[in-house]
Amino acid sequence: MSRLRPSSRRLLWCGGAAAAAGIFPKCPHHHHVLGRRLLSSAAAAAAAARRLLDPAPLSPDPIRVPPPRPLGGALGTLRRLHTLPEQVSGAGLGGGDKTFETICIHGVGARPLVVENVAAASGALEDDEEEEARVRVRESEVGEEGAVTLTEEEAKVKEGSGRDAILDGSEVESEARREKEESATEKEAWWLLNRAVVSYCGSPIGTVAANDPGTVNQMLNYDQVFIRDFVPSAIAFLLKGEGEIVRNFLLHTLQLQSWEKTVDCYSPGQGLMPASFKVRTVPLDGSNEAFEEVLDPDFGESAIGRVAPVDSGLWWIILLRAYGRITGDYALQERVDVQTGIKLILNLCLSDGFDMFPSLLVTDGSCMIDRRMGIHGHPLEIQALYYSALRCSREMISINDGSKNLVRAINNRLSALSFHIREYYWVDMKKINEIYRYKTEEYSHDAINKFNIYPEQIPSWLVDWIPEKGGYLIGNLQPAHMDFRFFSLGNLWAIVSSLATERQAKGILNLIEAKWDDLVANMPLKICYPALEYEEWRIITGSDPKNTPWSYHNGGSWPTLLWQLTLACIKMGRHDLAERAVSLAEKRLSNDKWPEYYDTRSGRFIGKQSRLYQTWTIAGFLTSKMLLENPEMASILTCDEDLELLEGCACCLSKSARIKCSRLAARSQVLV
């Protein structure tokens, strides 16, 4: 049995002041919890929620908040899932850590990138395209299997009136201008993305993973807001100038982080962010008249395989920085509770263990590939997101006496991690030839084959596949084990975050171009290449019928990866590649009803069990389009090379390998 409950002991005492001061976004329904009447009108609720979302100054007087009550009646079997934003503490790092309560100074000089509305320029309305889009949406609404039925409210939103109602005059104007420029597919995508928005107490808080009318009875958890899935939605909204949903998402997921969670009788670390959450409406104390909305998170204790989503916290940090950079609302990241949230995530990631490597040791399925695929250990995807999150945190952490050690730990880890990945994960023709000639069983400090890799491990497909020009970062590295599969997300995010050197980053994009037919073909982009087949599939996936060769996580093609490809291409000045991929996707996605993934070697078929109207497919497409139109916006997510980090690493190396400590040494040692 798994059980979740808000960490009331800690929160009760430390969160009172913050709650009273309105630091946390409050659900108006929680007034009821505090003894007031439930707000009846939706408008009043929304207004109250908006008001309460405005951060107010800290109150010096702690005020006690009642502890969460167990849900009674029919809900007896439900976990205690009150969200109780008012109980979240900003200062609760155990033993009186007050450092986060002091004034914040910005780390790296990050300036807001002010968003101009995406399509400020004028453009003629293409009537026929618009009509085509309408017809397509209409067709999908009626008469087909899995027909989309619109509620009155949805119909209004589709016609534009619903959304306009929440925009003020000037926004409506620029909205109208933008709409003139959007293609029919983009319009449809925006409509679908808005339809996927989930509200909590009258305010938008995230987007559901999928809205597939064909699977209403088998939603599994696709009706939830996934942290990783929301990122492209968030970027799309931010690029469009809509920050509220992202701000709400960041603050509410932050509250979930503080919950005490147990799987059977074990509690994982406190900084863990959930994989997903659901907004549930539950009767108040068994009453049939009063209801409240609560957030019900899943930290992996209900997930298939019971895996902890290591990537969620990393994505949260990356999104927090992007939000600040694009909106200029740095006050959010400077808040005490937000600083604490960052610190809790970092505590989990930076804690000492038995590991010999600076990379993060995780179980199988702890990221986008959330089921067994042989990626336990040190998978590239996690390392790249980890590096990125560390870089983002360093920018956001308030510098003061109490955070100095943390910043030092971040810098040390960044140096070591970048050296480790650049040096040991990188393969190209030359490196594979070196491995091919490796001697084994070397026992010494100066071993060339440090991880004791047996050359027989080089898979036969790779010998012919690796192009003359270019290379990539392998999927995983363990003692006597190199996973030579190409994993797209890790490689792309290594480019975006500057985990890879510039030469490596160019090399990865060259490889994608050279191996276009294998990695892109009919739909960008293969999640990994190649697929596990035969005995390997049986042993490594555990005969997983969902991950059969060239399907789903096992070599399937995921359109959501398009936005990350676009981002990496923009960073490296390869817009041409991104445009090619986007135009391929644009030809199919709408007709195919925005699938989650595609199957077969060349990505020709809609995936066997693929959801339709998958939100991150839709958002990934929109984000890619907008980034290509405004490439300078890519910098809300990218990081540049940091030579100081390299210097730090060269100095460390000099202690163990007698290498001179200097910037020159850094360049020659660490810049491959």
Nearer to ligand GLC, 206 or 324 (CB): 206
**Comparing C-alpha atoms, which of 577, 562, 441 is closest to residue 514?**
577
What DSSP string describes 386-435? HHHHHHHHHHHSPPSGGGHHHHHHHHHHHHHHHHHHHHHTEEEHHHHHHH
Nearer to ligand GLC, 110 or 489 (CB): 489
d(CA 248, CA 240): 16
Nearer to ligand GLC, 370 or 428 (CB): 370
d(CA 521, CA 530): 13
CA angle in degrees (0–180, nearest 5) for 655-658-660: 95
CB of 603 to ligand GLC, least distance (A): 17
Q: Which residues of 106-144 are buried (b: 16+ CB within 10 A; e: fewer)?
A: beeebeebebeebbeeeeeeeeeebebbbebbeebbeee
Q: Is 310 in the site for ligand GLC (CB under 6 A)?
A: no
What amino acid is encoded at 238 in this protein? L
CB of 226 to ligand GLC, least distance (A): 4
CB of 540 to ligand GLC, least distance (A): 16
Nearer to ligand GLC, 351 or 609 (CB): 609
d(CA 297, CA 225): 9
d(CA 390, CA 499): 11
CB of 126 to ligand GLC, least distance (A): 32
Nearer to ligand GLC, 172 or 606 (CB): 606
Q: Is 625 in the site for ligand GLC (CB under 6 A)?
A: no
Binding mask 160-199 vs ligand GLC (x if CB under 6 A, - otherwise)? Answer: ----------------------------------------
Q: Is 518 in the site for ligand GLC (CB under 6 A)?
A: no
Q: Is 364 in the site for ligand GLC (CB under 6 A)?
A: no
Q: Is 375 in the site for ligand GLC (CB under 6 A)?
A: no
**With CB under 6 A, what is the number of residues at the site for ligand GLC?**
6
Nearer to ligand GLC, 233 or 501 (CB): 233
Nearer to ligand GLC, 236 or 665 (CB): 236
Q: In what order do the strands lie in the sheet with 426-428?
A: 426-428, 471-478, 481-487, 528-529
Q: Is 370 in the site for ligand GLC (CB under 6 A)?
A: yes
Q: Is 619 in the site for ligand GLC (CB under 6 A)?
A: no
Residue from the set 137, 368, 416, 494 that interacts with ligand GLC by CB under 6 A: 368
Q: Is 315 in the site for ligand GLC (CB under 6 A)?
A: no
CB of 275 to ligand GLC, least distance (A): 7
Neighbouring residues of 84: CB distance < 8 A, sequence distance ≥ 6? 6, 11, 30, 33, 65, 68, 255
CB of 597 to ligand GLC, least distance (A): 9
CB of 196 to ligand GLC, least distance (A): 11
CB of 372 to ligand GLC, least distance (A): 12
C-alpha dihedral over 617, 320, 353, 414, to 10 degrees? Answer: 100
d(CA 278, CA 284): 18
Nearer to ligand GLC, 226 or 357 (CB): 226
Q: Is 209 in the site for ligand GLC (CB under 6 A)?
A: yes
Max CA-CA distance within the chain?
75
CB of 561 to ligand GLC, least distance (A): 11
Tokens of 501: 């050197």
Supply the Cα-derived Rg of the chain in whole angstroms.
25
Nearer to ligand GLC, 230 or 426 (CB): 230
CB of 124 to ligand GLC, least distance (A): 37
Nearer to ligand GLC, 16 or 232 (CB): 232
**Comparing C-alpha atoms, which of 244, 260, 179 is closest to residue 206?**
244
| Enclosing H/E stretch for 195 | helix 184-195
**Comparing C-alpha atoms, which of 83, 328, 332, 89 is closest to residue 200?**
83
Length of the chain in residues, anyone? 672
Nearer to ligand GLC, 370 or 483 (CB): 370
What is the SS3 assignment for 364?
coil
**Contact set for ligand GLC, span 214-243 (CB under 6 A):** 226, 228-229
d(CA 251, CA 295): 12
CB of 228 to ligand GLC, least distance (A): 5
Q: Is 513 in the site for ligand GLC (CB under 6 A)?
A: no
CB of 642 to ligand GLC, least distance (A): 30
Applying CB under 6 A, the residues found at the interface with ligand GLC are 209, 226, 228-229, 368, 370
